[in-house]
Every structure is written in C-alpha cells, then in structure tokens.
Amino acid sequence: MSTSINETHDPSLKSWVASANTGTSDFPVQNLPYGVFRRAGSQEAFRPGVAIGDQILDLAALAARKPFDGRAGEALAACAGDSLNALMALGQAHWSALRLALSRALREGAALRAEIEPLLVAQADAEYTAPARIGDYTDFYISVHHATAVGRQFRPDNPLLPNYKWVPIGYHGRASSVGVNQRFPRPVGQTRPAAEGETPQFGPCARLDYELELGIFVGAGNAQGERIPLAQADSHVFGLCILNDWSARDIQAWEYQPLGPFLSKNFASTISPWIVTMEALEPFRTQWKRDAADPQPLPYLASEANRERGAYDVQMEVLITTEKSRAAKQPPARLSRSNFRDAYWNVAQLIAHHTVNGCNLQPGDLLGTGTLSGPQPSEAGSLLELSQGGKSPVELPWGETRAFLQDGDQIIIRAECVKAGYPRIGFGESSGTVLPART
C-alpha cells in the first residue's frame, strides 16, 4: 500500500481550532504531526499527542474515550502508552485510518468537537520527550554537495571517495543520546597531536559544529534476513523530523580512521518534538534527479516511480543565538538555508539499502540524512563549510563572529513545505544549546 492524495489533503479544509487557520501556523489540519508530551513541570506520564495550531490533542486521553472504531480505533488504542512505537508498528493502513479520523474530528463543524475540545493542551504549557523509544540510529551522508565541500578541504584533487556515488554511505550512531531541545556540555576528548609521534592532546572540543539534517522514523519493520524492496520502502516510513547531529570536528579528525566517527558524534543528537507523517508530505513529493553524467543507481535502488516522486520539497534553515544576542534581545540570525530535494539519495533508497543485506529495522528506529547542504555556498549545512574549516569566520549581525560554536550558543533548525494553493506544512523546530565542558 502506498499513500496518495485523499480528503485529508483538501486545501480548503479549516479546523475549529482557530490558531490552525492563520496561514502562518506550522500545524494546520492538513498536517497533524505526532509527538510525545506532558504539561510542563508536572509529574504526569508522557503521552502521545497531535499538534493542531498552537494546541496539542492528548491522544492518550482520547483513546480512553474510544470515539473511533475499526483500524482508526485500533491505531488510537496504540497511543495510550508513553511513546509512539506501538502506533508505528501497526503499519500504513492504520496510520492512514487514524489520520482520516482525526482530520474529520478536528475540521470545522465536526460532531466530536465537544468531546475533543477539553482534551486540548496549549503547546506553550507543554514539555516534550523523544517521540519514540529509538532502538537504533543510523546516520547517512546523502548530500553530495556537503561531501564534496568537506572532502575538498582534505583531498582538494579528489574530494569524493570512489564509492560515494554508488552506495548510500552511513554509520551506526548512538541512540541513547538522541533527545528533544537539548542543553548539553561541550564534549571532551582526544585530539590530534601537535606533531606526528607526539602524545595526543586531551580536553574540551575546540571545533564544535552543528549539522543540518532530517530524521527518518521507521514504522513497521522487517524480519531479520528479509529485504524491504524499493517499491515497498515508503510503507515502512512513519514520518520525518528535524535532526541536528552535533559534531566535534577536532575529535573527529583524530578518531575517524579507520572505523569512522565515535566520540565526536555520540554526545548529543537533537531532534524536533514533532514527526510529520509521510502522508502529510504527500503533496510535496517531487522528482528525484541524478545527473546523467553520474553513475546511475544499481537496480535495487532504481525505479521509474522512485525517479518521478522519490524526493520531497522540504525547505530548511539554520539560525543561531548567542549569550550576547539574547542579552541584547536580538532576533536569531540565519546562517543558511537548503532543501531536502537536493539530496543525492532519497528516503526510499535509504530503507532499501539498509535492509538489502537482511538487516532488520524496527518500529522507532531513526535514520539521519546526514548534513543537507545545497549546491550554493550559502546553502551549507555546517559551520565547517560556511567558515571553510575555520579560515573564514561567519559574521553575525550583532558584531560577533563564529568559526565554530562557543559556549552559550544556541542552534535552531526549522523546516517547512510551501506550495502555491496549499497550506504551509511546518515541522516546528529543533533547538540545542551548548554548555561549558565538564572537566
């Protein structure tokens, strides 16, 4: 089963939650993303919710009232716990049924309004946790623009390794340090010796960086030994979130050979609270393009359908605040913008490749896209690129510069889908703040 345009995508739909109809909200009734929340400062159990305008519909409380039957009722019953894993495991038919039922219940004139309205919680009064128990986290490297820009700093004559254009490159990250709206201490570790043969240096990272990414949440998994073919890959993806996979570049430079990143990546990975479902993103599918001069994907990663509709038009931006800017009440400064559609590989290809050897994905597993840099220098998704490895610090509007992140810096990443004649679909934001190292 694959998703398609249906009544939930009708651009004329309005919600009885007035804040969903402003045109500037991330969460109109055509979106309905999922998260896990509780009232801020309370001892309540975390529970699944759906964002609508500036409110959250408490799905655990709604499940207790059993307003839906059939697959929608079964899917809602799976939202009674403290994560979305049970819902993710049910599969696409159940997700779609619940989305339809929620859409009808939240539209203007809905018969269920009186029953649902008391179950709304203002987003301003909520705090969030990771929307799923993430069993495994795999980070990919799917922006050829990022790979080329970074590779050029180390291998000017041959920035891309021979395998890059043939295989989606990835590594297994640390799931336990993935979190929402994180505040984390600057990582500490070994860095390259001042001269070859000398003792490595040890201390706080001096070249801390962000990475502009999207996260892909796996829904229904696959049995060990079974592949997920490209044609079925979409049905195994629950939705997308924003991801900032922070990187300690100086620690990374010392440790990454021969087995790749380790302590340079596992201290924090910040996601947004909300997962935008693939069904909500259906109107923003677009053609996936591969330059004719480049190697074309092997057959297990290629199909006409994937070429025609495999990419998603998701515009992203990175912003920064500092201790100085916040004290002066300056607005966040934009560092860059880029678009997911420019990635070298797409979501379905990542799922197909991850499982081609029989690897078993599980509900709630997280895949990262890797840094999503665009083709222009202004579309770089990291400070490593923007500052050219620290050689050209970025100037900020309030008079500071940044080659890499300093203590107190906050990175905000936002994402949205915009299309003429259709309501804007937003992702909320991922926010993370660097604290001083613990030494």
pLDDT digits (tens, 9 = 90+) for 28-74: 999 999 999 999 999 999 999 999 999 999 999 999 999 999 999 99
Span 276-297, pLDDT tens digits: 999 999 999 999 999 999 999 9
Judge whether 268 and 179 are in contact, CB under 8 Å. yes
* Rounded average pLDDT over 154-173: 92
Give the whole-angstrom CA distance, residue 45 versus residue 64. 15
- The predicted model scores a pTM of 0.97
Q: What integer pLDDT is reported at residue 221 of this predicted model?
A: 97
Rounded (10°) angle between helices 70-77 and 92-106: 100
Q: Which of 145, 146, 236, 353 is catalytic?
A: 146
Which residues lie closer than 8 Å to 331 by C-beta, 6 or more apart?
none
What's the mean pLDDT when you consider all of the chain?
Answer: 97
Give the whole-angstrom CA distance, residue 156 versus residue 165. 18
Give the whole-angstrom CA distance, residue 378 versus residue 369. 19
If 0-12 CB within 10 Å is exposed, 13-18 middle and 19+ buried, where does residue 177 land?
Answer: middle
Q: What integer pLDDT is reported at residue 157 of this predicted model?
A: 85
Span 361-404, pLDDT tens digits: 999 999 999 999 999 999 999 999 999 999 999 999 999 999 99
Span 193-245, pLDDT tens digits: 999 899 999 999 999 999 999 999 999 999 999 999 999 999 999 999 999 99
Torsions phi, psi of 339, nearest 5?
-135, 135
Cα-Cα end-to-end distance for the chain: 53
**Residue 219: closest CA among 347, 101, 307:** 347
146 as an active site residue: the answer is yes
Span 94-131, pLDDT tens digits: 999 999 999 999 999 999 999 999 999 999 999 999 99
| pLDDT higher than 90, residue 154 | no
Confidence of residue 3 (pLDDT cuts 50, 70, 90): low
User: Chain-centre distance of CA 434, in angstroms?
Assistant: 19
